[in-house]
Amino acid sequence: QVQLVESGGGVVQPGRSLRLSCAASGFSFRSHAMHWVRQAPGKGLEWVAAISFDGSEKYHADSVKGRFTISRDNSKYTLYLEMTSLRAEDTAVYYCARDPNTVTAWILDYWGQGTLVTVSS
């Protein structure tokens, strides 16, 4: 079955960097676009970034553009989110999610359980 397992979250000081990973299994990872979505404590969902099946196309929300970078390693079945210049407002649970298409269909059909990032001094 499809499994997505995020890791790399934790407590980080403002201005520092963090890299999240999402290990995929149970499906052909290299055949699917992927997304990151976050949810601040007690708040709604916010899309963060997306990447095509081969990494050639990347999309980032305006709120993270220039600070966060999505990437993938298909040989390792792993999705990444490199986060720099972190701010308090980046505090959230970060979910990785699968897109049913190779290039984005903008549907998130499977989600991981999330990893919590807390930005605090």
Contact code string over 55-94 relative to another protein, x by CB under 8 A: ----x-xx--------------------------------
Quick check: 95 binds another protein (CB under 8 A)? yes
CB contact at 8 A, 24 and 31: no
Q: Which window, 9-17, 18-26, 38-46, 74-82, contacts another protein (CB under 8 A)?
A: 38-46
Quick check: 114 binds another protein (CB under 8 A)? yes
Residue with tokens 């499994």: 3
Pairwise CA distance, residues 91 & 3, whole Å: 24
Q: Which amino acid is at 56?
A: S
